[in-house]
């Protein structure tokens, strides 16, 4: 578990509507996944988020999603290869411009919500996202859900000369196949901080997480995520920081 980084989805406010506890959480994480305007955020929020990340010397990642503000990017939208490539480039380019203006850079991409889930299920979408990143900057990594299929994804990513970052979720329940329990189910997100810390200590000491049915899931872990929209996100982050 040495070198494991904490990441959090942030910058998801929109106009006068506030989402998350960005100012409070930023000091405790290593990586921040910033919304890029399609599922959440706006130009001013993005700019403020970049400045805040710079203040705390945090690594910035683009968090692109489907163009779905009403559904917060959690609904799948059928798109062609070219459309996926274009929407990722559009959002990545917008965040990169704001980063450059603050003397920061985008170091990785972590798709949001339904786009993240679809990427893990559909090789065409996975290729489209890799193609977009590779055509923009091959030094930018792609963050994906760690699973038993890591080697398969790595084989594809190498074709685009893109490095992968493997992510585990501290506050989400897993199915037996290593996929995340759908947010449409009540037990998708874990709110009990004791359960979260026990899960991460098990991962740290034994290398596996327990699925929702009790199966052991051995997962390669570069980074652990806690969601910024979780009502106990700040408490979780502090506990995880101490545990790691």
* Residue 214 belongs to a domain: no
- Give the structural domain span for 156: 5-169+223-243
Tell me if 154 is assigned to some domain.
Answer: yes
Q: How many CB atoms lie within 10 A of CB 47?
A: 18
pLDDT for the residue 103:
97
The residue to which tokens 């806690």 are assigned: 226
Decide if 200 is inside a domain: no
Number of domains observed in the structure of the chain: 1
Nearest to 181 by CA among 192, 173, 170: 173
Question: Does 205 fall in a domain?
Answer: no
Among 4, 6, 1, CA closest to 236? 6
Q: CA–CA separation, 10 vs 127, rounded Å?
A: 25
Assess contact for 66 and 76: CB atoms under 8 A: yes
Residue 192 lies in a domain: no
Decide if 108 is inside a domain.
yes
Q: pLDDT tens for residues 208-244?
A: 999 999 999 999 999 998 876 666 678 778 878 888 7
Query: What predicted TM-score, i.e. pTM, was given to this entire model?
Result: 0.92
| Token output for 232 | 């106990």
In a domain, 235, yes or no: yes
Give pLDDT tens digits for 107-137: 999 999 999 999 999 999 999 999 999 999 9
Q: In CATH, what number is assigned to the domain containing residue 163?
A: 3.20.20.370
Is 191 a member of any domain? no
CB neighbours of 213 closer than 8 A, spacing ≥ 6?
Answer: 176
Averaged pLDDT of the chain: 92
Residue 194 near residue 137 (C-beta atoms within 8 A): no
């Amino acid at each position: 578990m040495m070198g494991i980084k904490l990441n959090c989805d942030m910058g998801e406010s929109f106009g006068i509507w506030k989402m998350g506890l960005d100012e409070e959480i930023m000091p405790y994480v290593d990586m921040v996944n910033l919304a890029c305007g399609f599922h959440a955020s706006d130009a001013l929020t993005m700019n403020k988020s970049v400045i805040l990340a710079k203040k705390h010397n945090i690594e910035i990642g683009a968090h692109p999603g489907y163009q779905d503000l009403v559904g917060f990017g959690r609904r799948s939208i059928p798109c062609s290869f070219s459309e996926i490539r274009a929407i990722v480039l559009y959002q990545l380019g917008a965040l990169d411009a704001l980063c450059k203006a603050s003397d920061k850079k985008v170091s990785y991409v972590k798709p949001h919500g339904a786009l993240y889930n679809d990427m893990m299920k559909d090789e065409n979408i996975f290729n489209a996202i890799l193609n977009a990143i590779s055509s923009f900057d091959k030094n930018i990594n792609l963050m994906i859900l760690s699973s038993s299929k890591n080697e398969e994804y790595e084989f594809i990513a190498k074709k685009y000369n893109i490095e992968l970052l493997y992510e585990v979720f501290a506050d989400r329940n897993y199915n037996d196949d290593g996929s995340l329990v759908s947010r449409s189910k009540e037990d998708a997100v874990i709110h009990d901080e004791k359960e979260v810390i026990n899960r991460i200590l098990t991962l740290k000491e034994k290398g596996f997480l327990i699925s929702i049915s009790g199966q052991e899931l051995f997962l390669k872990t570069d980074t652990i995520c806690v969601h910024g929209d979780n009502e106990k996100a700040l408490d979780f982050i502090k506990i995880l920081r101490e545990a790691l």
